[in-house]
A and B are shown apart, each in its own frame.
Chain A
Amino acid sequence: MSKFIVIGERLSTTAPAINRAFSGRDPEPILKRAKEQLDAGATYLDVNIGPAENDGPELMKWAVELLQSNFDNVPLALDTSNKAAIEAGISVYNRSKGKPIVNSADAAGRIEYIDLAAANDAIVIALCNGEGIAKDNDERMMYMQTMMERGMEHGMNVEEDMWFDPLFLVIKGMQDKQMQVLEFIKMISDMGMQSTGGLSNNSNGMPKHIRPIMDSAMVAMAMMNGLTSAIVNPCDLRLMETIKSCDIIKNNNLYADSYLEI
């Protein structure tokens, strides 16, 4: 089995400093935050430029080239609702360290992002969602099937290049749905497919010192159920240590005494 893939989430317009850097094309804060995440063990970096309705393509190109030229062609997840921006990003993307990830498609309004990924030989994150949050796993599976068929129609290698996102739900508010999400991850895994998601959503609204603990517990349980990747904050040491330990237990990585340091 392959190691769990950590997609670093911290290059996002939702962070004011990064938002400013993106709009001002200021490399400094972006490179600093990218480096922190890579040093902490991220494999992919998510590049969330927001809707970027005006300058999306140009901004995404700038960001891709900036990051890849500074960090040995680091693989990236291109995260925006602006399709043209994703295509522009892929046009300058170097895939020597991994295919680009299109973040993200769903089974309703954003289903065409699957076509886009297929046309560009990219990975796509496929949110098991239609309009609004699925009410149960039967419905999630219906969405998954719809997206998978779409991927197959467009010639995608769905086992490797479609990463299904079960949609992690916030515990404060949807505590009773947590096991359902975990069960759905198990279903994705039983189908032989890849999975990912914004895992830390589960701890949204919790006190700051609680979140790493809750996220670690969630990632351990999700990995037990077969989660293969997550979009998280790699600078959360406790979370990363948990992921590395789970990778050892799952025999995804060969144990050595220094496993936490590498």
Chain B
Amino acid sequence: MALKGLDIFKLTPKTNCKECGSPTCMAFAMKVAQGAVEISKCPHMSEEALATLSEATAPPMKTIKVGTGEAEYTLGGETVLYRHEKTFVSKTRYAAAISCCDENMDAKLAELKKVDYERIGERMHVEMLYLTYCGNCDAAGYAAFVKKVMEEVPDKTIVLDCTNVEAAKAALDVCKDKKPILDGADASNYEEMSKLATEAGVVLGVRGADINELYDTTAAVEKLGNKNLVLNVGAASIKDAFATTVQIRRAALKDTNRTFGYPSIVNAAALAPGDSRMQAALASLFTVKYGSIVVMEGMSYAQALPLYGLRQNVFTDPQKPMKVEPGIYPLNGGDENSVCLTTVDFALTYFVVSGELERSGVPCNLIISDAGGLSVLTAWAAGKLSSTSVSKFIQENVEDKIKCRKLIIPGKVAVLKGDIEAKLPGWEVIVAPNEAVQLVKFLKDMQANGEI
């Protein structure tokens, strides 16, 4: 983060000695802030001041990498609190909690594998497993459990929820190559835990009874030289977990408090045990507000469908619209004889239009051509949705697959009708209403009138 001239000025000796070549310390501070002069030009800066400055110019929040291969994820590294300011860079990742003594472990693991699907080019599944040490098993038992889970579901990143040093050591021995997180440092064990994590080369999770203890323990771990951390916001209450999660992020990004400049772990499973609906609500809340990893007891389709969609929305780059793949999308059992409709590849447009088409119940084919991910009018204005682009796509990709020769175009580009008809001999071009919501009635009427 750029330092303001004032912050630098406060650290100068304020003697206006001119040895740096500037007439005043203030002028010097300003030149440093603009990057025109090196801070070292001032021979009178104290060591302390220089340390403060180098700290202040470091990124406000660390980027932490966990997992390996396909299951490698980047956490943190955010620079803004609100997505309209700049893009959020690291998506919230979801973890399923399993305890080493979980009787339903096998069923749970089988269940987990089921929710695995694609949405707008992104794989949606539970990326991490939160493996809890029950406190009663011996260290070898916990390690064996971790090993079994890894074999069963190898494509997940492991988070060890374990404050027992022995058990943690045993578990790390079997899984450290997969770059897990050791979520287990607290005020009583952080020295040993930090040593374990550092030696194994893995990220350490820090926790505390409250935000103050979390802060102190994190500062203590940093003092040991370990800055490869994530912060567990605790499970005392939903209110505390939310307050801690927000305050950590805000302190890091707004007040440049480096001690809190780490990603967070929110354990929704522990905040609302047995309440899958509350866990869904919490996962949503912490996806919008600053959870880096959200732990749930499991992930059903009902929970996943809105959650992954929400995440895809919140973490989208405002500069780069989400696009769907060009192609023919049959809806309501549409086949080669069903009417064709076309619109742009902007994901939101696609979702809104396909949703209305599905609601109509009329079998049809939604044809999406490449329009640069822009909305209908913008694409038209930019020349990305034209009679040429539409007719070319239909000739190359549709005519050999679809027999129906009726094409419905968006009402907002009614002007293209004549040109498309001229370029697509044999096709009848029909103009749709202006708004997607009117499509239901429009299609139903066409169907009732025997037009399709």
List residues of chain A with CB under 8 Å of any chain B CB: 138, 141-142, 144-145, 148-149, 152, 158-159, 187, 190-193
Known: A141-B24, A145-B9, A191-B5. 11 other contacts (CB 8 A): A142-B16, A145-B14, A145-B26, A148-B26, A159-B6, A187-B30, A190-B4, A191-B4, A191-B6, A191-B9, A192-B5
Point out the residue from A138, A141, A142, A193 that lies within 8 Å of B6, measured CB to CB.
Answer: A193
Docked pose: A193 CA to B30 CA in angstroms: 12
A-B contact pairs, 8 of them (CB 8 A): A138-B23, A138-B24, A142-B24, A144-B26, A145-B14, A145-B26, A190-B5, A191-B30
| CB-based contact A149/B29 at 8 Å | no
> What is the CB-to-nearest-CB distance from B424 to chain A, in angstroms, rounded to a whole number?
42
| CB-based contact B5/A141 at 8 Å | no
Residues on the B chain within 8 Å of A190, using CB = 4-5, 30, 33-34
Docked pose: A152 CA to B23 CA in angstroms: 21
* B contact face: mostly helix, strand, loop, or mixed: helix
For chain B, residues 10 to 36, give those with C-beta under 8 angstroms from any C-beta of chain A: 10, 14, 16, 23-27, 29-30, 33-34
Q: Which residue of B lies closest to A189 (CB)?
A: B5
| CB-based contact A145/B24 at 8 Å | yes
> What is the CB-to-nearest-CB distance from A249 to chain B, in angstroms, rounded to a whole number?
18
Docked pose: A138 CA to B16 CA in angstroms: 11
* Residue count of chain B within 8 Å CB distance of chain A: 17
List residues of chain B with CB under 8 Å of any chain A CB: 4-7, 9-10, 14, 16, 23-27, 29-30, 33-34
Residues on the B chain within 8 Å of A193, using CB = 6
Docked pose: A112 CA to B416 CA in angstroms: 74
Residues on the B chain within 8 Å of A144, using CB = 26
Residues on the B chain within 8 Å of A158, using CB = 6
> What is the CB-to-nearest-CB distance from A244 to chain B, in angstroms, rounded to a whole number?
23
Residues on the A chain within 8 Å of B14, using CB = 145, 149
> What is the CB-to-nearest-CB distance from A128 to chain B, in angstroms, rounded to a whole number?
11
> What is the CB-to-nearest-CB distance from B431 to chain A, in angstroms, rounded to a whole number?
31
| CB-based contact B4/A141 at 8 Å | no
Docked pose: A158 CA to B9 CA in angstroms: 12
Residues on the A chain within 8 Å of B24, using CB = 138, 141-142, 145
Point out the residue from B4, B7, B16 that lies within 8 Å of A145, measured CB to CB.
Answer: B16
Q: Given A142-B16, A187-B30, are A192 and B4 neighbors across the interface (CB < 8 Å)?
A: yes
Residues on the A chain within 8 Å of B27, using CB = 138, 141
Docked pose: A138 CA to B24 CA in angstroms: 8
Greatest chain B CB density within 10 A among A152, A192, A193 is at A192
Docked pose: A187 CA to B5 CA in angstroms: 9
Docked pose: A152 CA to B12 CA in angstroms: 14
Docked pose: A158 CA to B14 CA in angstroms: 16
Which 5 interchain pairs have the tightest Cβ spacing?
Answer: A192-B4, A191-B5, A145-B26, A138-B23, A192-B6
Q: Which residue of B lies closest to A136 (CB)?
A: B23
Docked pose: A168 CA to B9 CA in angstroms: 25
Docked pose: A191 CA to B28 CA in angstroms: 11
Docked pose: A148 CA to B5 CA in angstroms: 13
Residues on the B chain within 8 Å of A145, using CB = 9, 14, 16, 24-26
